[in-house]
């Protein structure tokens, strides 16, 4: 079974490493030919609970060279979705199923408009990974990944695909109500990512910081109110406790928003807290968005 992983960042590289170790034929699809060549010619160092090991993964920036594949997994940042489609849309159209595990509001709809709602599978992942200062990939949090059915009356491949991924070492579940799963992940991201990034450390730093926890509760409360307005039943206290549980289980993880800030890259804030404050009355999330924008500006200007 060949799997194409679009986006060789931390999560994409983790997915690729786990599936390749499990015996699947994996190719990482990059947008940068030079980086792809460097990655293809060197080992990926993976650190997890089993220790440290080296893997050589196939990496390419040439979508035309991919050949037949059973599944595409989209792991690029939310704001990179349209660029991915410009560069590799034709290659993705040749794959029967394209599964997105991207964060935030918007990427799923962009992919479905471009590729077709009967081909694109919504989803979310609760795996956590980051590249450390030495360039090693740290698998910092184990979690489930969820895969929703296609729209438009297409046959549902998700039970079989999820089972194949799980057998290969990437725990996955079919999620008939994938809209709810995506919103659950959205609430987690809203509650954790910006705050931990502003504090400048691992997610676990929130746990011993009462003022930060108070802000987190307010941010989550605003997200829950927004989700309820979309017709989904969510309980505020339950969601706050669920977010706290994710903080504990990912305490050693440096989330992707922090990694982007440290590297001077654009973050996904406009698809997370910013997406919320742009769609609803959410003053706490608006302020968090503005603070992250200020940190982005500082990173660009030095």
Distance of alpha carbon 199 from alpha carbon 278, whole angstroms = 24
Please, what is the angle between helix 178-199 and helix 236-249, to 10°?
60
Distance of alpha carbon 18 from alpha carbon 142, whole angstroms = 12
Give pLDDT tens digits for 185-222. Answer: 999 999 999 999 999 999 999 999 999 999 999 999 99
Distance of alpha carbon 240 from alpha carbon 264, whole angstroms = 30
For the chain, list the domains and their CATH numbers: 2-176 (3.40.50.720), 180-301 (1.10.1040.10)
- Catalytic residue positions, numbered: 185
Give pLDDT tens digits for 229-260. Answer: 999 999 999 999 999 999 999 999 999 999 99
Beta bridge partners of 73: 5, 99
pLDDT in the model for residue 222: 99
Task: Answer whether 0.85 is exceeded by the pTM.
Answer: yes
Mean model confidence pLDDT for the chain: 96
Contact 141, 252 (CB under 8 A): yes
Mean pLDDT over residues 147-156, rounded? 91
Of 27, 38, 188, 47, the residue nearest 130 (C-alpha): 47
Confidence band for 92, pLDDT divided at 50, 70 and 90: very high
Say if residue 299's pLDDT is above 90: no
């Amino acid at each position: 079974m060949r799997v194409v992983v679009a986006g060789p960042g931390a999560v994409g590289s983790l997915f690729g490493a786990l599936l390749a170790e499990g015996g699947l034929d994996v190719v990482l699809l990059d947008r940068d030919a030079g980086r792809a060549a460097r990655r293809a010619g060197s080992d990926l160092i993976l650190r997890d609970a089993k220790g440290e090991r080296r893997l050589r993964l196939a990496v390419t920036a040439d979508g035309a060279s991919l050949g037949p594949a059973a599944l595409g997994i989209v792991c690029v940042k939310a704001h990179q979705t349209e660029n991915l489609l410009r560069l590799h849309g034709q290659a993705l159209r040749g794959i029967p199923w394209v599964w997105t595990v991207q964060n935030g509001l918007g990427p799923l709809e962009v992919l479905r408009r471009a590729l077709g709602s009967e081909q694109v599978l919504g989803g979310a992942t609760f795996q956590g990974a980051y590249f450390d200062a030495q360039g090693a990939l740290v698998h910092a949090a184990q979690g489930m990944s969820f895969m929703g059915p296609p729209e438009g009356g297409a046959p549902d491949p998700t039970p079989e695909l999820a089972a194949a991924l799980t057998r290969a070492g990437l725990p996955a579940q079919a999620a008939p109500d994938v809209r709810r799963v995506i919103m659950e992940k959205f609430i987690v991201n809203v509650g954790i990512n910006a705050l931990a990034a502003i504090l400048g450390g691992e997610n676990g730093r929130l746990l011993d910081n009462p003022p930060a926890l108070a802000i987190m509760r307010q941010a989550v409360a605003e997200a829950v109110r927004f989700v309820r307005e979309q017709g989904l039943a969510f309980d505020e206290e339950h969601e706050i406790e669920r977010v706290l549980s994710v903080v504990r289980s990912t305490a050693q993880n440096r989330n992707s928003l922090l990694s982007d800030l440290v590297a001077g890259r654009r973050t996904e804030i406009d698809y997370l807290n910013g997406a919320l404050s742009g769609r609803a009355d959410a003053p706490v999330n608006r302020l968090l968005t503005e603070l992250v924008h200020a940190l982005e500006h500082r990173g660009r200007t030095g």
